Amino acid sequence: MDRGIKILVVDDDEDYNLYLTKFLSDEGYITKGITKPMDALPTLEQERFHIVILDMKMPQISGTELLKEIKSKYPNVCVIILTGYPSFKTAVETMKHDAFDYLKKPFDLNDLRKALNNAQKTYCLIGSSKDKLKSSVGKKLKFIRKSKQITQKQLAVRTGLSPSLLSQIENGQISASLTTLDKLAAALNMKMSYFLEEDTELHVASGN
């Protein structure tokens, strides 16, 4: 079964990395494993991944620091933390930096399956294409609006759309019409295609 979901495994333990990537491939995921944590960001720049499974304790850079860097550049990527040295402090710290889940090594594979299934639902990686597009448009709109430091109320004034409508679009509750997207793109100095391109990563686009 090909799920169409790409997972990057970042763990410096070669045997464990191989074990995880094989398991995930057998589960139907498109999987890549890297053992050098400093290769994680360049890999994400070259290839789009939906989920990153990240070991906490690695040489050169800690899992927490790498988590912060990944989420700052790729806020729409789901990150699941693995650790052989769990503590309440590290769990809280990783969640503060927007890790999706925190699993203690060794873990039951069913726990990993559950975490991945929850991630797919939360990040809208499963479901109808229409639902995925609604969620994608909403996340992109919210991200670019906040990056430009524009409130919903200010955007409503610029577009003539109601704050309630904007909130529903950002939360993926309703689909935006092409006319609405055109108004939003113009108000945010963006190209409308930014909202519709499936593989577009969340980033501040210039609209040029």
Digit-coded pLDDT (tens) for 144-153: 999 999 999 9
Mean pLDDT within 173-198: 85
Give the DSSP letter of residue 37: G
Contact 5, 120 (CB under 8 A): yes
**CATH 3.40.50.2300 location in the chain:** 6-122
| pLDDT per position as a tens digit, 105-134 | 888 889 999 999 888 877 766 654 556 777
- Mean pLDDT for the stretch of residues 180-207: 72
Q: Percentage of the chain surpassing pLDDT 90?
A: 43
Give the 3-state secondary structure of residue 7.
strand
Least confident stretch, 4-18, 20-34, 68-82, 113-127: 113-127
> Amino acid letter at 121?
K
Could you give the residue range(s) of every CATH 1.10.260.40 domain in the chain?
Answer: 129-196
Strands in 6-10's sheet, in edge-to-edge order, are 30-34, 6-10, 51-55, 78-83, 101-104
Q: What is the mean pLDDT of the chain?
A: 84
Of 32 and 2, more confident: 32
Instruction: Name the CATH superfamily, with its identifier, for domain 6-122.
Output: Response regulator (3.40.50.2300)
pLDDT band, very low/low/confident/very high, at 3 (cuts 50, 70, 90): low
The pLDDT-based confidence of 198 (bands split at 50, 70, 90) is low
**Measured CA distances, 124 to 34, 56, 121 (Å):** 25, 26, 5
To the question of domain 129-196 being in CATH 1.10.260.40, the answer is yes
164 vs 173 pLDDT, higher one: 164
Confidence of residue 203 (pLDDT cuts 50, 70, 90): very low
